[in-house]
């Protein structure tokens, strides 16, 4: 394969990953690493490095649109970023000591879990408003968001230590595997802290960029961000996600989500099998 063909294929693959990621709200990062390792036979460490910077690009690129909606909470985000950035540094450190095939297997397991979360989320009931923990006001995490009738809906949060702890795990996964781990971040806010779903998803988007930046510097310094891979992948994922965000309203999201869930499931199985057979 010539360099030009390889680069062009990478760009198209990354574009599709970004497009599907944006349309389904699951992010392009989860399919990018399997695409690069299984599809293009790139060493997983290169794949993770390049995925990490694509994650920063998509999260920052989508930020302005998310702000316009008026759901995100800068305080919840900043508070929990303490946990995710610390986790990210631990994850980036762990990436150096973990065997590459083990990385592939862990990645596969995370994919399977993401598929499970995505399946579960599509059938979850609307959570009822709760009286939050007293620390919700003390830490100024309580807030409000625009409701359907134009009034602002107030919310409080609960189980802050639980959310903080899971955010640390989300950060570690991000630093270890080069993914945004948006699904885990939403889980921590939405399920554990009882932050309203829309607030959770938009706030998570902001946190993804900062979390990835915490470990990206370490990856860059280790020489893990390869220029020849970085430019087609980053530009591809970013274009794909921006196109996806634009057509989000018109697409059949429910169908796409099911399809994407199966894609993730299949990739997860493939990553695990591939990791195990190459290791032993």
By C-beta, is 17 or 210 nearer to other proteins?
210
Q: Determine, following the binding rule CB under 8 A, whether residue 177 of this chain makes contact with other proteins.
A: no
Separation of alpha carbons 249 and 184, rounded Å: 24
Q: Determine, following the binding rule CB under 8 A, whether residue 102 of this chain makes contact with other proteins.
A: no
Among positions 95, 186, 218, 267, the unique one binding other proteins when judged by CB under 8 A: 218
**Smallest distance, Å, CB 256 to other proteins?**
25
Q: What share of the chain is helix, strand, coil (3-state, %, to 5)?
A: 75, 5, 20
**Smallest distance, Å, CB 191 to other proteins?**
23
Among positions 217, 252, 259, 262, the unique one binding other proteins when judged by CB under 8 A: 217
Contacts of 118 (CB under 8 A, 6+ apart): 24, 26, 183, 257, 260, 261, 264
Q: Determine, following the binding rule CB under 8 A, whether residue 227 of this chain makes contact with other proteins.
A: yes
Contacts of 11 (CB under 8 A, 6+ apart): 232, 233, 235, 236
Helices 197-221 and 44-69: crossing angle in degrees, nearest 10, is: 140
Q: Which stretch binds other proteins (CB under 8 A): 82-90, 103-111, 191-199, 259-267?
A: 82-90
Q: Determine, following the binding rule CB under 8 A, whether residue 157 of this chain makes contact with other proteins.
A: no
Separation of alpha carbons 76 and 170, rounded Å: 15
Residues 112-141 that bind other proteins (CB under 8 A): 139-140
Q: Which stretch binds other proteins (CB under 8 A): 49-57, 188-196, 258-266, 268-276?
A: 49-57
Q: Determine, following the binding rule CB under 8 A, whether residue 92 of this chain makes contact with other proteins.
A: yes
Separation of alpha carbons 110 and 233, rounded Å: 22
Contacts of 163 (CB under 8 A, 6+ apart): 80, 157, 188, 189, 192, 193
By C-beta, is 6 or 116 nearer to other proteins?
6
Q: Where are the alpha helices (DSSP H) in the chain?
A: 3-24, 29-34, 44-69, 74-97, 100-121, 135-138, 160-177, 182-186, 197-221, 227-247, 253-279
Separation of alpha carbons 167 and 161, rounded Å: 10
Residues 19-48 that bind other proteins (CB under 8 A): 40-43, 45-46
**Smallest distance, Å, CB 109 to other proteins?**
22
Among positions 135, 144, 197, 243, the unique one binding other proteins when judged by CB under 8 A: 144
Q: Which stretch binds other proteins (CB under 8 A): 124-132, 176-184, 222-230, 261-269?
A: 222-230
Q: Determine, following the binding rule CB under 8 A, whether residue 216 of this chain makes contact with other proteins.
A: yes
Contacts of 207 (CB under 8 A, 6+ apart): 77, 80, 81, 84, 167, 185
The residues that touch other proteins, with contacts defined as CB under 8 A, are 1-4, 6-7, 40-43, 45-46, 53, 56-57, 59-61, 63-68, 70, 72, 74-75, 78-79, 81-82, 85-86, 88-89, 92, 100, 139-140, 143-144, 152, 206, 209-210, 212-218, 220-232, 234-235, 238
């Amino acid at each position: 394969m010539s360099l030009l063909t390889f680069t062009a294929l990478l760009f198209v693959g990354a574009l599709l990953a970004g497009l599907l990621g944006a349309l389904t709200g699951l992010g392009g990062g989860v399919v990018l690493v399997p695409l690069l390792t299984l599809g293009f036979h790139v060493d997983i460490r290169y794949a993770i490095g390049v995925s990490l910077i694509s994650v920063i690009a998509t999260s920052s690129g989508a930020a302005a649109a998310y702000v316009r909606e008026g759901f995100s909470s800068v305080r919840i985000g900043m508070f929990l970023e303490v946990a995710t950035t610390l986790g990210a540094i631990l994850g980036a450190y762990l990436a150096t000591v973990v065997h590459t095939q083990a990385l592939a297997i862990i990645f596969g397991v995370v994919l399977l879990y993401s598929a499970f979360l995505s399946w579960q989320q599509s059938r979850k009931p609307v959570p009822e408003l709760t009286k939050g923990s007293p620390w919700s006001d003390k830490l100024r995490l309580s807030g409000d968001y625009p409701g359907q009738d134009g009034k602002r809906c107030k919310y409080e949060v609960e189980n802050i230590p639980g959310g903080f702890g899971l955010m640390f795990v989300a950060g570690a996964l991000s630093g270890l595997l080069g993914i945004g781990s948006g699904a885990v971040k939403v889980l921590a806010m939405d399920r554990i802290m009882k932050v309203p779903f829309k607030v959770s998803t938009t706030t998570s988007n902001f946190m993804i960029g900062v979390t990835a930046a915490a470990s990206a510097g370490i990856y860059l310094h280790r020489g893990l961000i390869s220029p020849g891979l970085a430019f087609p992948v980053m530009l591809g994922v970013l274009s794909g996600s921006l196109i996806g965000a634009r057509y989000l309203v018109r697409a059949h999201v429910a169908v796409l989500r099911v399809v994407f869930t199966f894609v993730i499931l299949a990739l997860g199985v493939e990553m695990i099998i591939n990791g195990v057979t190459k290791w032993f």
